[in-house]
Amino acid sequence: MKINQSNKNDIIQTIGPPIVKSTFDNDVLIYIERKTSSSKLTKLGKRNLIVNNVLILDVDKKGILINKEFYNKDDMQKIKFDDNNTVADYNRSSFVSDFFFSLRQRIDDPLGKKRTKN
């Protein structure tokens, strides 16, 4: 597969249909190869990752290959992910909480008799 020479049909004929296909400005074809093996009994059957290859191909609107990227298991270890976490702020007095509390009360006591005790 050569950039600016191979087309989408050549790619599919050579390595088959992609695992993931998405469309942004160009078509992105993603191929994933993953092989694991069972480990020893002492590790309780945990699987070992042997091969983890990812091939990303960018194809323009005309169907011509414009970019290709290959990542192996070692490359995946070098990718940095953001460690920041999104914190959800739920208050007991939020509108949604009040709404569901009210709804639950009405389901439990539709006539309101449990609230008024003499």
Residue 102 inside a domain? The answer is: no
Enclosing domain of residue 10: 1-39+46-78
Between CA 17 and CA 81 the distance in angstroms is: 29
> Exposure of 73 by Cβ count < 10 A (0-12 exposed, 13-18 middle, 19+ buried)?
middle
In a domain, 5, yes or no: yes
Would 96 be classed as within a structural domain? no
Asked if residue 86 is part of any domain, the answer here is no
In a domain, 112, yes or no: no
Q: How confident is the model at residue 65 (pLDDT cuts 50, 70, 90)?
A: very high
CATH, residue 51: 3.30.1450
Would you say residue 117 lies in a domain? no
pLDDT of residue 41: 61
**How many domains does the chain fold into?**
1
Task: List pLDDT tens digits, range 10-50.
Answer: 999 999 998 888 876 778 998 988 888 876 665 666 777 78
